[in-house]
């Protein structure tokens, strides 16, 4: 087992046997994360839009944010997946996982959007209102472009965190990367290879996402730097 050729053969064997399962796990992780992150961003944005200029709505939505930020994702998933049937909400593991991750993400993205909206000087809004620009246009042409540079770094951080948190979905039997690896461990008693591969995959994915985020940030804040 010490010869390099043996190691290559060993890994080739491992991939021949389990490659398809691992690829499916990777695909499920990416797919669920993409759906949950998009839904979470949308949800967080809606929460912030709804709670602006309306004290009662803001209080109610604040409770949502505090609850979902203050409890572990795993407990939320258990409540949704195991507790759901008690009030007639029986979801498949994949659906429960995606919905749970999206609700959890929404609370965090709402906070990011809140900081973004707070960063816009009130004078800009007053000026826009007095020019008779419609609220939707103000949001799209004045607020969002200005806060983009500010909210991208924390959003990218949050996306990376969510991608890592998606490993928790394996506990409610969603067949994503972690679940596939632990299943291989349990079925074939191979431990080292799937675990190390799993850790490497997550590390690679989060490094890639971090790098992409930095590129995006540079692009969005180009106007601030002096050199064009």
Partner 1 sequence: MDAPHLLTSIIHTLPGGLLVTLGISLLSAVAGFVIGLLLCWMRCSPLCAAHAIAGVCISALRGIPILVVLLLLFYLPSAAGLEMPSVLAAVLALALNTGAFQAEILRAGFASIPRGQLEAAYALGLQDLRILRRILLPQVLGLTMPQLVNELIILVKNSSLISVIAVTELLRRSEQLVAVTYRPLEVYTATAILYLAANLFIAWSGNKIHQRLIAGRAG
Q: Is 191 in the site for partner 1 (CB under 8 A)?
A: yes
Could you give the CA distance from residue 96 to residue 171 in angstroms, rounded to a whole number?
Answer: 12
Q: Is 7 in the site for partner 1 (CB under 8 A)?
A: no
Could you give the CA distance from residue 221 to residue 151 in angstroms, rounded to a whole number?
Answer: 11
Interface with partner 1 (CB under 8 A), residue from 46, 185, 216, 220: 185
Which residue, 42 or 167, has its beta carbon nearer to partner 1? Answer: 167
Nearest Cα to Cα of residue 44 among 95, 117, 97 = 117
Q: Map residues 50-89 to x or -, x wherever contact with partner 1 holds by CB under 8 A.
A: ----------------xx--xxxxxxx-xx--xxx-xx--
Q: Is 17 in the site for partner 1 (CB under 8 A)?
A: no
**Residue 20: Cβ-neighbour burial (10 angstroms; 0-12, 13-18, 19+):** exposed
Interface with partner 1 (CB under 8 A), residue from 95, 146, 173, 182: 182
Interface with partner 1 (CB under 8 A), residue from 178, 180, 184, 213: 178
Dihedral class, residue 121 (left if φ above 0, else alpha if ψ from -120 to 50, else beta): beta
Interface with partner 1 (CB under 8 A), residue from 5, 122, 131, 192: 192
Nearest Cα to Cα of residue 97 among 179, 206, 170 = 170
Could you give the CA distance from residue 112 to residue 156 in angstroms, rounded to a whole number?
Answer: 11
Q: Which residues contact partner 1 by CB under 8 A?
A: 66-67, 70-76, 78-79, 82-84, 86-87, 160, 164-168, 170-171, 178, 182, 185, 191-192, 195-196, 198-199, 202-207
């Amino acid at each position: 087992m010490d010869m390099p050729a043996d190691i290559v053969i060993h890994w080739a064997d491992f991939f021949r046997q389990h490659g398809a399962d691992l690829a499916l796990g990777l695909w499920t992780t990416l797919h669920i994360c993409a759906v949950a992150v998009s839904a979470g961003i949308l949800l967080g944005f809606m929460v912030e839009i709804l709670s602006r200029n309306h004290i009662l709505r803001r209080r109610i939505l604040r409770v949502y944010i505090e609850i979902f930020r203050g409890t572990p994702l795993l407990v939320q998933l258990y409540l949704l997946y195991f507790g759901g049937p008690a009030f007639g909400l029986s979801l498949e593991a994949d659906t429960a996982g995606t919905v749970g991750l999206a609700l959890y993400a929404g609370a965090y993205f709402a906070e990011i959007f809140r900081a973004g909206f707070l960063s816009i000087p009130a004078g800009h809004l007053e000026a826009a209102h007095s020019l008779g620009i419609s609220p939707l246009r103000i949001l799209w042409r004045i607020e969002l472009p200005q806060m983009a540079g500010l909210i991208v770094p924390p959003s990218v951080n949050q996306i990376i965190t969510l991608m890592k948190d998606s490993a928790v979905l394996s506990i409610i039997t969603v067949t994503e990367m972690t679940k596939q690896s632990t299943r291989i461990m349990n079925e074939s008693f191979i431990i080292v290879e799937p675990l190390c591969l799993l850790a490497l995959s997550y590390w690679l994915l989060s490094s890639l996402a971090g790098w992409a985020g930095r590129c995006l940030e540079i692009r969005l804040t180009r106007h601030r730097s002096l050199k064009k």
